[in-house]
Structure 1
């Protein structure tokens, strides 16, 4: 697989994403459903945004790993949240996760009126190999 990052500007580097990712010679593409803070029994978390973000990341990592892919190859990551303000207060969790895997993904952050039950954040990824 060959990836090319397109960043006409520098400002997005501090925010943990890139403007575009071109991928060539892909062996496979994994489209992940939105992952949120739901435990192994299907119970939605009632915890705060930070705890829910950590659980959503862990769940996404598990799906990606069990499918035989790697988080470093996430090329698209959409973030849905019920409160951008709350999410930005714990955005270090997201940025540390991106840095941990050296991700270079195109991202969109959307504030939505609501998510399932008590959920506050959901991550939807596209991964290649």
Structure 2
């Protein structure tokens, strides 16, 4: 698989995403449903944004790993949150995860009225191999 990052500007670098990702000769593409802070028993978290973001990332990583892919190959990551302000208050945690995994992804952030029950953040990804 070959990835090419397209960034006509540099300002997005501080925000942990890229403007576009071109993928050539991929062996496979994994489209992942929105992952949230729901535990293995199917119970949604009622924790704060930071704790939900941690569990959401862990759940996303588990799906990626169980499918035989790697987080570093996330090419699209949509973020849904009930509060952009709360999400950005723990944005450093998100950026550390992006940097730790060497992820270069196109991203869109959506603030929504609600998510399932008590949830406040959801991550939807596309991963290539």
**TM-score computed with the length of structure 2 as normaliser:** 1.00
Partner of 2:33: 33
Partner of 2:100: 100
Q: 3-state SS of the aligned residue for 1:119?
A: coil
Is 2:60 aligned against 1:60? yes
Partner of 2:8: 8
The runs of at least 4 aligned residues of structure 1 exceeding 6 Å deviation read: none
1:66-85 equivalences in 2 (<5 Å): 66-85=66-85
In structure 2, C-alpha distance between the alignment counterparts of 1:19 and 1:42, rounded to whole Å = 35
Q: CA RMSD for the aligned pairs? A: 0.3
Q: CA deviation at 1:81?
A: 0.1
Partner of 1:19: 19
In structure 2, C-alpha distance between the alignment counterparts of 1:122 and 1:35, rounded to whole Å = 5
Q: CA deviation at 1:79?
A: 0.2
**TM-score computed with the length of structure 1 as normaliser:** 1.00
In structure 2, C-alpha distance between the alignment counterparts of 1:34 and 1:49, rounded to whole Å = 16
Partner of 2:91: 91
Q: CA deviation at 1:49?
A: 0.1
Q: CA deviation at 1:87?
A: 0.3
Q: 3-state SS of the aligned residue for 2:63?
A: helix
Q: CA deviation at 1:61?
A: 0.1
Structure 2: gaps (5+ residues) = none
